[in-house]
Every structure is written in structure tokens, then in C-alpha cells.
Structure 1
Amino acid sequence: MYELRNVTKRYTRGKESIDALDGVDLTIADGDRLVIQGPTGGGKSTLLQMLGALDRPTAGEVVLDGTDLARLSETRLTKVRSENIGFVFQSFNLIPTLTAQENVETALVPLGVKPKERRERAAEALTSVGLGERLGHLPSEMSGGQQQRVAIARALVKQPKVLLADEPTGNLDESMRDEIMDVLERMWKELGLTFIMVTHDSAIAKKAPRLATIRKGRISVKENAGA
């Protein structure tokens, strides 16, 4: 479970200070699916960075399973990210010279998984997202939707507890968007993940069980009865 308590993130630009997050309180239970929306510059990506242990708050607590991430050393934060949190981004972030299978394997290297097991788990993860026949293909040999499936497999191969997605359908057309969302929602259900996603897409937001709206660093959350 996540507990954010009075989280503030302040950036200083010259003489000006900007609060990207301004006293945010938020609870996210294990297994939740939460979508975050808001205007550009409103604090969405900053909030996701806090949840992903990619940045520290200026003030407040970001607690994951009883541990305040803001108080951990960089070494322990890296361990938390490697073991517990999977990330999917808009730009895929695949290594162009590696095959789909090799890209997925990269998530297991920091965990000390042996090569044979890495190959097996990567193949299994790619099969689970419908790419079992594309293991040896480079990113340039795949469509945008297929590349995002590789990125999802890479995020999930380490069996994380949390999946964070930052505009994962932002570079895709409508049909590919729906395919990727079907994959993400299926993985959420099958694996019992806590799934948190930032999106500008209102069609996606309407289907989420919980919707958080963030504007000028302040957040409001509502249950989505239509989901």
C-alpha cells in the first residue's frame, strides 16, 4: 500500500519557486487501478516519479508498505525500483540494437538472475503479451504497438508489485491504444498488480475504477462508478 502524506515537491528557477506538488495526501491500496489526469505542468509526472522512487519530495512522506521512500539511501531506492516497481513510458525506451528478448532480459540483470533463467522468463513474458513469435526481432522490425508490448513485458518480467505507466498509449493510434490497454488491464487482473497510470486520454480515464485529477499541485480523487 502507498500512503502519501502532505507531499510537496518544490522546484526553484532563479528567484522563482514552483510547487509541482502542494501538500498531496493519497492512499493507494494493494491491487488498485488508479488513473491520473490533469493539465500539462499540473504535477502528474512529478507524482509518478514520487511513487516510482525516482525523485524525493521536498517535504512530506511517500510510504510504500510501511517504508518511507524519502528516507532511503540511493542504494536502497535502486533496490526497491529493481525488485518492486515496473515502469512503462510513452517512448518505449527500448535499446535499438537488442532483440525483443534481450530488451526484456535487461530488467533481470540487476536482480542477479542467471542467463538461462533470464532467457526463459523473458520468452514467457513476451508470450504473455502476444509476442511469442517475435523474440528475435529488433525494435525497428516491430510496430509501435509491438514495441510497447515489449516494454510492458520488460516491466513485468521481474514480477513487480507495482506497475507505473506514464502516457503508455500517447504515441499510438486509437486501435493500438485499445490493444495496449487490453494488455495492461489483463496483466493487472491476472497478476494482482497495483496499477497507476498517467494519461491525457479521457476515454481511458472513464474506464478506471479510481480517477485522480491533479491541478497546480493539488489532487482530488473520485471513485469511477461507470468503470
Structure 2
Amino acid sequence: MYELSGVIKRYQRGKGTVEALAGIDLTIADGDRLVIQGPTGGGKSTLLQMLGGLDRPTAGSVGLDGVDLAKLSEAKLTKVRSENIGFVFQSFNLIPTLTAQENVETALVPLGVKGRERRARAAEALESVGLAERLGHLPAELSGGQQQRVAIARALVKQPKVLLADEPTGNLDESMRDEIMDVLETMWKERGLTFVMVTHDSAIARKAPRVATIRKGKITVKENAGA
């Protein structure tokens, strides 16, 4: 479970200060699915970075299963990210010189998973997202939707507890968007993940059980009765 209390994030911009998050209180239960929306620059991605331990708040606490991520050393924070949190981004962030299978394997290297098991788990993860026939393909040989599937497999191969996605369909057309959302929703249900996603797409938000809206660093959360 995530428990955020009084989370403030300020950045220096020139001679001034920008407050990206202005006292966020938020609880995300295990297995929850939350979509985060709001205008550009409102603090959406900043909040996701806090949840993923990719950045630290200026003030406040970011609790994950009772541990305040904001207070962990960099080494311990890296360990939490590598073991418990999977990330999917708008830009697929695949290594162009590695095959689909090798890209997925990179998530297991920090965990010390040995070669044979690493290859088997990567192949299984790619099969789970419908890419069993594409293990040896380079990113340039894959469509945008297929590249995002590789990125999803890479995020899930380490069997994380949390999946964080920042505009994962932003670079895809409508049909590919629907395919990727089907994959993500299936993974969420089958694996019992805590799934938090930033998106501008209202069609996606309407299907989420909970929607958080951030404007000027402030958050409101509502239940989606029709989801």
C-alpha cells in the first residue's frame, strides 16, 4: 500500500521556485488501479516519479508498505525499484542494439538472475504479451505497439508488486492504444498488481476504477462508478 502524506516538490527555475506538488495526501491500496490526469505541467509525472522512487519530495513522506521512500539511501531505493516496481514510459526506452529478449533480460540483471533462468523468464514474459515469435527481433524491426509490448514485458519480468505507466499509449494510434491497454489491464488483473497510470486520454480514464486529477500541484480523487 502507498500512503503519501503532505508531499511537496519544489524545483528551482531560473531565479524562481516552481511548486510541482503542493501538499499531496493520497492512499493507494494493494491491487488498486488509479489513473492520474490533469493539464500539462500540473504535476502528474512528478507524482509518478515520487511513487517510483525516481525523485524525492522536498517535504512529506512517500510510504510503500510502511517504508518511507523519501528517507531511504540511494542504494536501498535502487533495490526497492529493481525488485518491486515496474516502469513503462511513453518512449519505449529499448536498447536498439539488443533483441526483444535481451531487452527484457536487462531488468533481471540487477537481481542477479543467472543466464539460463534469465533467458527463460524473458521468453515467458514476451509470450505473455503476445510476442513469442519476436524474441530475436531488434526494436527497429518491431512496430510501435510491439515495442511497447516489449517494454511491458521488461517491466513485468521481475514480477513486481507495482506497475507505474507514464503515457504508455501516447505514441500510438487508437487501435494500438486499445491493444496496449488490453495487455496492461490483463496483466493488472492476472497478477494482482497495483497499477498507476498517467494519461491525457479521457477514454482510458473513464474505464479506470479511480481517477486522480492534479492541477497546480493539488490533487482530487474520485471513484468511477461505471468502471
Within 2, Cα distance between the matches of 1:116 and 1:66?
35
**Counterpart residue number, 1:141:** 141
AA of the residue aligned to 1:131 = L
**5+ long unaligned stretches in structure 2:** none
Within 1, Cα distance between the matches of 2:34 and 2:103?
27
Where in structure 2 are the equivalents of 1:165-176 lying within 5 Å? 165-176=165-176
**Counterpart residue number, 1:47:** 47
Within 2, Cα distance between the matches of 1:100 and 1:18?
39
Within 2, Cα distance between the matches of 1:10 and 1:213?
19
**Counterpart residue number, 1:125:** 125
RMSD: 0.4
* TM-score of the superposed pair, with normalisation by structure 2: 1.00
**Counterpart residue number, 1:4:** 4
What number of residue pairs does the alignment pair up?
227
Within 2, Cα distance between the matches of 1:135 and 1:61?
41
Aligned residue for 2:92, secondary structure, equals coil
AA of the residue aligned to 1:161 = K
2:73 is equivalent to residue 73 of structure 1: yes
**Identity of aligned pairs, percent?**
86
Alpha-carbon deviations, 1:75-116, whole Å to 9, x = none? 000000000000000000000000000000000000000000
- Once the two structures are TM-superposed, the CA of residue 168 in structure 1 deviates from its matched residue by 0.1
AA of the residue aligned to 2:64 = L
Within 1, Cα distance between the matches of 2:15 and 2:172?
39
Aligned residue for 1:25, secondary structure, equals strand
Where in structure 2 are the equivalents of 1:21-170 lying within 5 Å? 21-170=21-170
**Counterpart residue number, 1:215:** 215
**Counterpart residue number, 1:184:** 184
**Counterpart residue number, 1:204:** 204
Within 2, Cα distance between the matches of 1:53 and 1:87?
11
**Counterpart residue number, 1:194:** 194
- Once the two structures are TM-superposed, the CA of residue 191 in structure 1 deviates from its matched residue by 0.3
* TM-score of the superposed pair, with normalisation by structure 1: 1.00
- After superposing on structure 2, the runs of 4+ consecutive aligned residues of structure 1 that deviate more than 6 Å are none
Where in structure 2 are the equivalents of 1:8-23 lying within 5 Å? 8-23=8-23
Within 2, Cα distance between the matches of 1:132 and 1:220?
41
- Once the two structures are TM-superposed, the CA of residue 12 in structure 1 deviates from its matched residue by 1.5
- Once the two structures are TM-superposed, the CA of residue 14 in structure 1 deviates from its matched residue by 2.8
Within 1, Cα distance between the matches of 2:207 and 2:226?
7
- Once the two structures are TM-superposed, the CA of residue 15 in structure 1 deviates from its matched residue by 2.5
**5+ long unaligned stretches in structure 1:** none
Within 2, Cα distance between the matches of 1:97 and 1:13?
36
